[in-house]
Structure 1
Amino acid sequence: MDEIASITDTNLTETQFYNRADEINMLSSLLGTTEFNSSPTILLTGIRGVGKTALIKKIKHKFDKEYLVVDIDLSRSNAYQQKKLSRGSIIKIIYDAIIKASKEFGLRTLDKKIEKYFKTNKFKIDKILSYEHIPVPVFESEENYARLADFVMELPQKIYEDNSDKLKGVFIFIDEIQLIKDLDNVDKFLWYMRSFIQNQKNVAYLFCGSMSLKDSLINDLNGKEGAFGGRMLTIEIHPFSKQTTREYIESIPRNILLDDGGFERFYKCTRGIPYYINIFAKILPENITLTENNIIELFKDSIDYLAVHFIFMWSKLTFQEQKIIISLLGNPKRRIEIANTLEVTSGSLNRPLNRLLDFDLIEYVNDKYQITDPILTYWLQNSHEKNGIYPFRSI
């Protein structure tokens, strides 16, 4: 019998993947039009932990027998992990993912066509590595970036045209798209991508990111003045409702018992976010009816597990950024109020506030800044309650 999904597991079994039938049907219908030259460009958004990546994996498995599905996770790339994410590295990430997906699908003639392209276009190549007999070039300089980028962006369409007898279309899924905010000239890069995407047939793009609809990148992508100018379909994945959360808990192959007060507190703690539900449910004892007070105490004991992502992020923040978040624990504040609390000038907060917004640790609502996720608030408050201080220096 399946256990509760691991907090890092995105390839879920039928039992572990719960609900989302409406989202699956909607995305499947939209993507299915790719077969008929009507290729959608989709932006899938939602707060971290709501299940976007697991949903993408589910869609991938549904289509990968008839479509070439290129699944890219920017956060798992070497370039991002080594803090070297650039326009060139993203193009290389896309290229590598296309090659890998093509090989797995069994498109055997791709290697010769790519090799011919590099030989006939006089690229300055330092050396050519091989991914299962398919050439992967290593360039000696950045001089070839423009031509290589054009080639990579045109490659999905070329693959479809050369294999239309085997493929109904090509899907390019790019997960953790919010990470491109690290790039210089993000807007320019998005307009560049759009110049190719808008002209492609039988090739659909799905961008996925952990961000709210208030995120500045949404406007850069699909705002009135954005690269895609409203032509991108934006779909927000929401947390589970109370009823769905209750049904999900009852479906879990552990005998978790909650009275009405216990369930209400459980839902308040997890807010219907599958990531938090799974972590908390793994910790709850079985065969004991848990009350509201039980859940409150268990929640305090498990907060370090629930907040593991924020603990990692916290350790990467500057002292001033940490102090800004601490200042917001009581209530949302205007910029001038934060400045007064920290005894600094308002202008000195530009960079740290923008970084915290980019990290999705705070958000700007009704002219005030506030902490995005209550779990971060609970963790900091709990740390102060236990230790008498906030964890500024070490975790």
Structure 2
Amino acid sequence: MSKLPWGNSKVLTDEEFFNREQEINNLKNLLSSTGENNAPDILLTGIRGVGKTVLLNRIKNIMDDDYLVIYMDFTISSVYQKNQMSVKGLLDYYFQEIISECRDKGLKSLDSQIKKFFKTNNFKLEKFLNINGIPIPLISTERDIEKYRDFVFKLAEDIYKENQDKIKGIIIIIDEFQVIKEIGDYLNSFLWNFRGYVTSQRNVAYVLSGSMSLQDNLISEIAGQNGAFGGRMLTININPFTKETANTYLKEKAPELNFTEEGFDRFYKCTSGIPSYINIFARQLDTSTTLNEEEVINAFDNNLSLILSHLINEWNRLTIKEKDIIITLIHEPLKRIEIARKLNVKSGSLSNKLNKLQNLGLIKFIDGKYEINEHLLKRWLKLEHEQKGIYPYRVI
């Protein structure tokens, strides 16, 4: 079982990595045009756990020799972790990651220009923080944000000009981009401002990625014909493993597992072909017996909390009312007025909570109704209720 990575692994060894050759070749070929002054802009989508982050880290490793490849994950930014999402906070994180990667690669990072910019542009500058040798400015007034945004989003192109004898171009990968939905009313203006800088930079390619289904409204806001990028952003969706690919994968990485035909069919249905679920669940299976359908179902139910640990952590962070909304959707999709009636509240009071649950990817809105987006979360909630007679509002 040693060849199976854990489901939360973000970087895989050559031995652990499997499949995705077509996606890798497509991305590599597209991004290589950056070295020809024709940088592409790409939106990489796919459901949670399908392997986007692993794929992006693979691309970074492949292209790192010729390009400055900057990988950033918006969910590890301080403003997201502290639940204080703001445009300025994201700019701080963006700025820090660019400078950090320049330092790691030994490139000129314009330190003198950076300090001069903040000292000569009438900023209300409190001080510079020094984080791992990186001067991070602390600014405190909203009137400075436009200048700050302009400087930060132009920084990559300026760094390229200073280092074009060493690199072919710059590739900026922004993972978990979907969390920008939490900046609320500023989302639309942020996207349009961001688009203005992105589309004007011929030597800086952008790959935006996040846990988004193809029905996510953010996709149309970014890449749709009427979205910020006006249909000019290339969209690539990463799909789960097919049944045949999942079978080949387990035979190669976990040959000690033995399934009956029905047993493997059930295994595939339980995991939906999502690599992270396949890896975690396969590690829990008995290798000393031939696994039939019933044994797979029992093993899946007994290990569901482990397989869904990331979703259960998400569940624990929800408010009681947000959990109530999800529970009302367990048996069928509902209109907002129907959810409000079941919860005995006014329909308008649910707007923010429904938006938050959609932003987290826990529910989706299709054909005028809300439904649970994570089918395994629904399974876990049902199972907990069957076994304990109550839904798990608090999980220890």
Q: Which residue of 2 aligns with 1:256?
A: 257
> How much has 1:244 moved relative to structure 2?
0.4
1:124–1:355 CA distance, 2 compared to 1 (3 A): closer
Superposed CA offset, 1:314-370 (max 9, x none): 222232322222222222223343334334444343333222212211112233221
User: Partners of 2:112 and 2:371 in 1: how far apart?
Assistant: 54
Secondary structure in 1 matching 2:99: helix
1:219–1:119 CA distance, 2 compared to 1 (3 A): same
1:118–1:336 CA distance, 2 compared to 1 (3 A): closer
Matches within 5 A, 1:9-28: 9-28=9-28
> How much has 1:112 moved relative to structure 2?
3.2
What amino acid does structure 2 have at the position aligned with 1:356? L
Q: Which moved more, 1:269-278 or 1:351-360?
A: 351-360
> How much has 1:119 moved relative to structure 2?
4.2
Q: Which residue of 2 aligns with 1:275?
A: 276
Q: What CA RMSD, in Å, does the superposition of the two structures yield over aligned residues?
A: 1.9
Q: Which residue of 2 aligns with 1:45?
A: 45
Does structure 1 residue 374 correspond to structure 2 residue 379? no
Is the CA contact 1:91–1:152 (under 8 Å) kept in the aligned structure 2?
A: yes
User: Partners of 2:42 and 2:368 in 1: how far apart?
Assistant: 29
Matches within 5 A, 1:335-350: 335-350=336-351
Q: Which residue of 2 aligns with 1:294?
A: 295
Secondary structure in 2 matching 1:185: helix
User: Partners of 2:6 and 2:85 in 1: how far apart?
Assistant: 28
Is the CA contact 1:46–1:237 (under 8 Å) kept in the aligned structure 2?
A: yes
User: Partners of 2:64 and 2:49 in 1: how far apart?
Assistant: 25
Q: Which residue of 2 aligns with 1:127?
A: 127
Matches within 5 A, 1:87-126: 87-108=87-108, 110-121=110-121, 123-126=123-126
Q: Which residue of 2 aligns with 1:63?
A: 63
> How much has 1:78 moved relative to structure 2?
1.6
User: Partners of 1:59 and 1:20 in 2: how far apart?
Assistant: 11
Is the CA contact 1:306–1:375 (under 8 Å) kept in the aligned structure 2?
A: no
Secondary structure in 2 matching 1:293: helix
Is the CA contact 1:68–1:102 (under 8 Å) kept in the aligned structure 2?
A: yes
User: Partners of 2:146 and 2:347 in 1: how far apart?
Assistant: 41
TM-score after normalising by structure 2: 0.94
Superposed CA offset, 1:358-386 (max 9, x none): 22111122332211121111100110111
Is the CA contact 1:239–1:273 (under 8 Å) kept in the aligned structure 2?
A: yes
User: Partners of 1:268 and 1:30 in 2: how far apart?
Assistant: 34
Q: Which residue of 1 aligns with 2:137?
A: 137
> How much has 1:242 moved relative to structure 2?
0.1
Superposed CA offset, 1:105-144 (max 9, x none): 1114633343344444454433234456553323354443
Superposed CA offset, 1:226-284 (max 9, x none): 21111111111110000000011111145111110110000000000011001101111
What number of residue pairs does the alignment pair up?
395
> How much has 1:80 moved relative to structure 2?
0.9
What amino acid does structure 1 have at the position aligned with 2:199? Q
Q: Which residue of 1 aligns with 2:152?
A: 152
1:357–1:4 CA distance, 2 compared to 1 (3 A): same
Is the CA contact 2:92–2:136 (under 8 Å) kept in the aligned structure 1?
A: no
User: Partners of 2:343 and 2:118 in 1: how far apart?
Assistant: 57
What amino acid does structure 2 have at the position aligned with 1:175? D
> How much has 1:145 moved relative to structure 2?
2.3
User: Partners of 1:115 and 1:31 in 2: how far apart?
Assistant: 32
User: Partners of 2:317 and 2:119 in 1: how far apart?
Assistant: 44
User: Partners of 1:375 and 1:355 in 2: how far apart?
Assistant: 19
Is the CA contact 1:68–1:105 (under 8 Å) kept in the aligned structure 2?
A: yes
Q: Which residue of 2 aligns with 1:214?
A: 215
TM-score after normalising by structure 1: 0.94
Is the CA contact 2:78–2:89 (under 8 Å) kept in the aligned structure 1?
A: no
Is the CA contact 1:254–1:286 (under 8 Å) kept in the aligned structure 2?
A: no
User: Partners of 1:109 and 1:354 in 2: how far apart?
Assistant: 39
Q: Which residue of 2 aligns with 1:360?
A: 361
1:35–1:265 CA distance, 2 compared to 1 (3 A): same
Q: Which residue of 1 aligns with 2:36?
A: 36
Could you tell me which runs of 5 or more consecutive residues in structure 2 were left unpaired when the two chains were aligned: none
Is the CA contact 1:111–1:133 (under 8 Å) kept in the aligned structure 2?
A: no
Superposed CA offset, 1:273-318 (max 9, x none): 0110011011112132111010010001101012212212222223
Q: Which residue of 2 aligns with 1:385?
A: 386
Q: Percent identity?
A: 45
